[in-house]
Amino acid sequence: MTRVKRGTIKIKRRQNILKQVKGYRFGRSTKKRQAKEAIAHAGTYAFAHRKDKKADRRRLWQTKINAVVRKFGFSYSKFIDRLKKKKIEVDRKILADLAENQPESFERIINQIK
């Protein structure tokens, strides 16, 4: 039976792992075992923070809407309630954009729900 040398495969695998942790500090950027752990942790954080990012955006939209709506004598919750009762279906992302960039359009929406 012929001899199989596996050094090249092992080196390639190590190089691929170390490429992923380029820029990490200390042993995590140079040692294979620590690098693999760092990759695993980074992956879990990335997954969780993708979810958090969506919640952060929604919170920001609510704050922007609330800031503008207060000028017209509404609170955020009363404003959203009136929108639902009048069956105006505009999502918070669009409302926040209108409130920030097109105040005239946003004021028209407020006048419709009064």
Q: How does pLDDT run across 9-40, given as a tens digit for each residue?
A: 889 999 999 999 999 999 999 999 999 999 99
Q: What contacts 18, CB < 8 A, 6 or more positions away?
A: 29, 30, 32, 35
Q: Does residue 75 contact residue 69 with C-beta atoms inside 8 Å?
A: yes
Domain count, the chain: 1
Q: How does pLDDT run across 52-100, given as a tens digit for each residue?
A: 999 999 999 999 999 999 999 999 999 999 999 999 999 999 999 999 9
Residue 57: which CATH number? 1.10.1900.20
Closest CA to 88 of 71, 72, 105: 105
Q: Which domain holds residue 37?
A: 7-113
Q: CA separation (Å) from 87 to 14, 19, 37, 80, 106? A: 58, 53, 51, 10, 16
The two three-digit tokens of residue 31, written as one number: 């040692």
Is 2 inside a domain boundary?
A: no
